[in-house]
């Protein structure tokens, strides 16, 4: 527990730093953890053929991730909007080309797993950077973590105290319905306190009173999806008899173990912010 606590504090401090600095620092950080997350997923899903050190579709995925983040950071907003989706399509088509040219080295399921891994971790994680660059992004980006890690903490506490009914007994026996509800309510409360704190301590930000209902709502909806992301990542591990995706973060596991809920929460927070705050 001590190792887990220390590594969690170090990770949080690093995350705080890169998000506050933003720009190339944040984009570079997300690129690195996206590459690691992709590696963990393709290894977990057995994308590599027998005795391969790196699979051809995996190599295409690495190139696609670097190209995607390069376009995200160096390209204009208009350029990214126009060509970002095209780049994703070309990467997936490159993986399919590997399947055809190397047939029958890879099974269809391996190619689908590689394509899923490319989209699931790297592309969805990029929404942290995209949220940070919205008009209110320096404030909105923290809702991603209120709705994911805040939910994790509240769900754990409520589940330990009041949990009686299993949420997903086969997939995650320790999670309870009471904990899940507590996670959503706790995330909404954190979102409200955060919005109130911004109003009181950062009046120069000029944010309107609408954040007092929008931030809690965004955080609560994010918490619902974050729990689905957590369970989905656990399901992948159970399907492949893994305890952790890796041992990169002491006491936590790998990038996919620590960012499983953040991955699915980030794009939701981005689009909810656009919708509810009319950005």
Ranges 11-20, 84-93, 249-258, most confident: 84-93
Q: What percent of the chain has pLDDT over 70?
A: 100
Report yes or no: 142 and 217 within 8 Å, Cβ to Cβ: no
Dist CA 160 CA 252 (whole Å): 19
Give the pLDDT score at 1. 63
DSSP string for residues in 74-98: HS-HHHHHHHHHHHHHHHHHHHHHH
Dist CA 109 CA 47 (whole Å): 8
Which whole number is the average pLDDT over 5-11?
82
Q: pLDDT-based confidence at 171, cuts 50/70/90?
A: confident
- pLDDT reading at 220 higher than 70: yes
Average pLDDT, the chain: 92
Q: pLDDT-based confidence at 8, cuts 50/70/90?
A: confident
Which whole number is the average pLDDT over 20-41?
95
Cis peptide bond N-terminal to 259, omega within 30: no
* Partners of 253 in beta bridges: 249
Which whole number is the average pLDDT over 263-274?
95
Please give the model's pTM, rounded to 2 decimal places: 0.94
b/e map of 88-120 (b: 16 or more CB within 10 Å)? beebbebbbebbeeeeeebeeebbbbbbbbbbb
Give the pLDDT score at 74. 94
> What secondary structure letter does DSSP report for 49?
P
H helices of the chain, where? 2-21, 23-44, 56-74, 77-101, 108-118, 124-132, 137-146, 149-162, 177-201, 211-239, 255-258, 260-277
- How do residues 185-210 score in pLDDT, each as one tens digit? 999 999 999 999 999 988 877 788 89
């Amino acid at each position: 527990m001590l190792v887990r606590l220390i590594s969690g504090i170090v990770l949080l401090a690093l995350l705080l730093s890169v998000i506050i600095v933003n720009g190339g620092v944040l984009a570079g950080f997300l690129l690195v953890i996206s590459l690691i997350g992709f590696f963990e997923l393709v290894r977990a899903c057995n994308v590599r053929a027998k005795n391969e050190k790196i699979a051809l579709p995996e190599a295409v995925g690495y190139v696609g991730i670097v190209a995607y983040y390069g376009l995200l950071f160096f390209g204009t907003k208009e350029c990214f909007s126009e060509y970002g989706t095209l780049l994703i399509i070309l990467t997936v088509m490159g993986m399919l080309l590997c399947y055809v040219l190397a047939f029958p080295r890879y099974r269809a399921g391996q190619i689908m797993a590689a394509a899923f891994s490319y989209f699931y971790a790297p592309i969805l994680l990029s929404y942290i950077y995209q949220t940070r660059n919205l008009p209110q992004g320096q404030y909105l980006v923290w809702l991603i973590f209120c709705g994911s890690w805040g939910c994790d903490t509240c769900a754990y506490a409520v589940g330990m105290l009041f949990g009686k009914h299993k949420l997903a007994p086969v997939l995650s026996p320790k999670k309870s319905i009471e904990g899940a509800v507590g996670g959503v309510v706790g995330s909404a409360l954190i979102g409200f306190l955060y919005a109130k704190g911004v109003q009181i301590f950062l009046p120069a930000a000029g944010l309107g009173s609408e954040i007092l209902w929008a931030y809690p709502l965004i955080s609560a909806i994010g918490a619902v999806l974050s729990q689905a992301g957590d369970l989905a990542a656990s399901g992948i591990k159970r399907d492949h008899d893994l305890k952790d995706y890796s041992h990169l973060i002491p006491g936590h596991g790998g990038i996919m173990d620590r960012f499983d809920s953040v991955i699915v929460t980030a794009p939701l927070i981005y689009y909810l912010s656009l919708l509810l705050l009319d950005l």
